[in-house]
């Protein structure tokens, strides 16, 4: 039995993977951004161990989530699932004056990775749209570019792959991988999404707990349990390190060596 923490698990894909893991006998800690969603999540998944509450929209609140998770003890795996979607017509500034898509999709998983006690496995949800992300990393905070919600999402999903690959390169005792769940009919994906929803949560669950040799790898990117090509710059150590350095400057948190 493994113990897993899943961000953004009150609904959507996060809830689906949590239910899969709980049904298989694993110990799952959920995450919700507020108390009402936490109550709803626990009602939907009564066998979950507990729910950590915290909004990943701000640096301070994300640090608090990390602290709460550490208070619960060790985890075998963490699945970074929480995200804001690509249909965001307007830039919304957080309390830290950051674009909300960057704050939740890019910076929050960085902060949680840096501050939560290192698990055996890390799993980061990306998207096929990461291949359209801007690997130059110019204007991460959208202070010069005209806001484009789709591009901001693509950029953030590339950031998730870069983070996963950075961790796999720097932390030799942790298996760190990323994946795309497919374009599926969730709240984010919309009702007309063409991929099979039943397959969408399986790869992240497999990467988090499976003893299959194909799952016990690091620095890989998957789609439905099979390796898939990534953005051509995603494996660049320089691009990875540049993103980490930028995140460290923005939030004041250092990724441990």
Burial of 46 (0-12, 13-18, 19+ CB in 10 A): exposed
Of 19, 63, 124, 153, catalytic? 153
Cβ atoms < 10 Å from Cβ of 251: 20
Nearest CA to 141 among 99, 93, 100, 106?
A: 99
Query: Would you state the structure tokens that stand for residue 179, as one six-digit string?
Result: 């994946």
Distance CA 30, CA 32 (A): 7
Cβ atoms < 10 Å from Cβ of 139: 11
Distance CA 50, CA 29 (A): 5
* Gap between the terminal Cα atoms of the chain: 29
Of 63, 86, 124, 157, catalytic? 157
H helices of the chain, where? 12-23, 35-44, 59-71, 100-101, 108-115, 149-170, 202-209, 237-251
221 is catalytic: no
157 is catalytic: yes
Q: Which of 2-11, 87-96, 161-170 has the lowest mean pLDDT?
A: 87-96
Identify the CATH class of 3-251.
alpha beta
Domain segments of the chain: what residues?
Answer: 3-251
Q: List pLDDT tens digits, range 91-123.
A: 999 999 999 999 999 999 999 999 999 999 999
Which helix or strand (DSSP H or E) is residue 80 part of? strand 77-80
Asked if 156 contacts 102 with a C-beta cutoff of 8 angstroms, the reply is yes
Q: List pLDDT tens digits, range 179-227.
A: 999 765 455 555 555 566 678 899 999 999 999 999 999 999 999 999 9
């Amino acid at each position: 039995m493994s113990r897993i923490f899943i961000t953004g698990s009150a609904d959507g894909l996060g809830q689906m993977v949590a239910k899969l893991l709980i049904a298989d006998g694993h110990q799952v800690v959920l995450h919700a951004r507020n108390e009402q969603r936490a109550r709803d999540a626990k009602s939907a998944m009564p066998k979950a161990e507990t729910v950590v509450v915290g909004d990943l929209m701000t640096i301070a609140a994300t640090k608090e989530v990390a602290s709460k998770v550490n208070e619960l003890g060790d985890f075998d795996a963490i699945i970074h699932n929480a995200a804001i979607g690509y249909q965001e017509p307007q830039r919304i500034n957080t309390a830290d004056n950051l674009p909300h898509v960057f704050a939740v999709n890019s910076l929050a998983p960085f902060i949680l990775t840096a501050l939560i006690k290192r698990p055996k496995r890390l799993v980061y949800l990306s998207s096929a749209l990461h291949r359209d992300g801007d690997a130059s990393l110019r204007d991460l905070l959208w202070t010069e570019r005209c806001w484009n919600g789709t591009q901001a999402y693509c950029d953030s999903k590339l950031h998730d792959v870069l983070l996963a690959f950075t961790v796999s390169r720097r932390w030799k005792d942790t298996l760190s991988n990323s994946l795309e769940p497919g374009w599926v009919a969730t709240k984010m994906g919309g009702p007309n999404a063409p991929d099979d929803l039943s397959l969408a949560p399986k790869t992240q669950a497999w990467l988090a707990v499976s003893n299959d040799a194909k799952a016990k790898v690091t620095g890989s990117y998957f789609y439905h349990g099979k390796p898939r090509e990534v953005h051509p710059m995603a494996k660049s150590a320089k691009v990875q390190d540049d993103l980490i350095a930028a995140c460290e400057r923005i939030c004041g948190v250092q990724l441990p060596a």
